[in-house]
């Protein structure tokens, strides 16, 4: 079985967020897909099978299957439009989060994702202990989103991974106003056995709705300030958010099953 590793939200290898992608003729068992995911030891491995005119797409972390993943969706669309069906410019994915459409626009791949509904929550001492600084505000969707005072705080952050496990939400995202970009952020996912997600697409389904409302603008350029770094071109549309990015192929390999 052929497997591709693609760096998403970057135009060069060793940047962005790496995802493994397997586009298959038929489904493997969940056990085998989890074993492949753990063997890869990346934040996400994506598995896709064509079903009719669409592809069914599933995402696995080393900690289990999840309901939404941006960078692995972008990586899968890159593989399909470059290697599987190079004549197409639109890929439709049936997923646990419903229909997701990815459109190829030059070097960019544009994803149409659902926005998470955010509820403002109190900043707690548990959050402060986990993050290492006191957030200005906190919001809850699928994940916990904390707003920090500055880009420098986001960059210097060294959170307590064990204490993050005690917070509500699947992932923890920290964000602040950017200098060169509209916003900067970092994403931590120890509950998924991923200490830091290099560039988190689903996280920006929390981050962008919040900043769009705060900045009173719908088009934003976001930077994920992980050690690898990544750029997302975003458009907030209320219940949906469009996330666009580039991708770079790192490797192609055959898995022996």
Q: Which residues are catalytic?
A: 44
Residue in the structure block whose two tokens are 């509500």 = 168
In whole angstroms, give the CA distance from residue 81 to residue 35: 27
- With CA atoms as reference, report the closest residue to 201 among 95, 85, 48: 95
Alpha-helix residue ranges (DSSP H) falling in the chain: 30-40, 70-79, 125-131, 151-156, 161-164, 204-215
Cβ neighbours of residue 144 closer than 8 Å, sequence gap 6 or more: 121, 127, 138, 167, 168, 169, 171, 172, 173
What residues are paired with 236 via a beta bridge? Answer: 241
Q: Which of 70, 43, 45 shows the shortest CA–CA distance to 59?
A: 45
């Amino acid at each position: 079985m052929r497997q591709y590793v693609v760096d998403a939200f970057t135009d060069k290898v060793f940047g962005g967020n790496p995802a493994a992608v397997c586009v298959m003729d038929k489904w493997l068992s969940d056990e085998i897909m989890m074993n492949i995911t753990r063997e890869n030891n990346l934040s996400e491995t994506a598995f896709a099978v064509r079903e009719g005119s669409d592809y069914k797409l599933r995402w696995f972390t080393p900690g289990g299957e999840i309901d939404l993943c941006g960078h692995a969706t972008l990586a899968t669309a890159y593989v399909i439009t470059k290697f599987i069906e190079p004549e197409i410019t639109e890929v439709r994915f049936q997923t646990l989060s419903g229909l997701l459409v990815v459109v190829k626009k030059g070097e960019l791949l544009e994803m149409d994702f659902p926005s998470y509904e955010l509820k403002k929550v109190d900043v707690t001492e548990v959050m402060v202990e986990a993050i290492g600084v006191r957030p200005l505000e906190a919001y809850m969707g699928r994940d916990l989103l904390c707003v920090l005072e500055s880009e420098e705080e986001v960059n210097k952050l060294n959170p307590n991974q064990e204490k993050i496990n005690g917070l509500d939400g699947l992932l923890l995202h920290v964000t602040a106003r950017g200098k060169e970009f509209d916003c900067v952020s970092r994403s931590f996912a120890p509950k998924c056995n991923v200490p830091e997600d290099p560039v988190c697409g689903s996280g920006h389904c929390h981050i962008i709705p919040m900043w769009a409302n705060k900045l009173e603008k719908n088009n934003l350029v976001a930077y994920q300030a992980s050690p690898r770094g990544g750029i997302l071109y975003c458009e907030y549309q209320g219940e949906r958010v469009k996330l666009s990015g580039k991708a770079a192929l790192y490797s192609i390999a055959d898995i022996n099953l």
